[in-house]
Amino acid sequence: MSKLLSISLSFVVLLQSFGVSLCDVSQIDEFIEHAQFHSEQYGDNVLVFISKHYGELKATHDKEHQEEKEDHEQLPFQHQSHFSSATAFVLIAYKEHFKSFEISEYKSHNFFYQAPSSSLHSEGILQPPRHS
């Protein structure tokens, strides 16, 4: 069970590193439906379809087919996002011997124990299960 959980979490991290969200995964059916529409209507294969919606033909396709604008907004991977990260690692070669510290003998207790006084405990109702 732990291996399955580890693999699934690794897969989620991999998808997120590519910029794929769960919203995009849920819109895959819209992608397939629109690709089939293009295949039937315009005779486009998958590569031409991807080029028209995500590649170099996108601008001309958007201008020529304004009636499909609502369908295009439902396609996955349409979000514009920018991911950047800056990592700084500073190694300081500073060595100082730790000074010994004194432990004081003063002890302050912030808790106390009070014996249970409920009637259920004194009657013996709450008992652990016994083997028969």
Reported as a single tens digit per residue, the pLDDT across 11-68 is 888 877 777 777 877 888 888 888 898 888 889 888 888 888 888 888 888 888 888 8
Query: Does 108 map to a domain?
Result: no
The domain tally of the chain equals 1
Query: Does 31 map to a domain?
Result: yes
Torsion angles phi and psi, residue 58, rounded to 5: -65, -45
The SS3 call for residue 100 is coil
Query: Does 126 map to a domain?
Result: no
The pLDDT, as a whole number, for residue 7 is: 92
Q: What is the mean pLDDT of residues 56-84?
A: 78
- Under the banding of pLDDT at 50, 70 and 90, the label for residue 70 is confident
Q: What is the mean pLDDT of residues 82-98?
A: 64
- Total count of residues recorded for the chain: 132
What is the value of pTM for the model shown? 0.49
Query: Does 124 map to a domain?
Result: no
Q: What is the mean pLDDT of residues 91-107?
A: 64
Given CA atoms 35, 40, 41, 47 in this order, what sign does their dihedral have?
positive
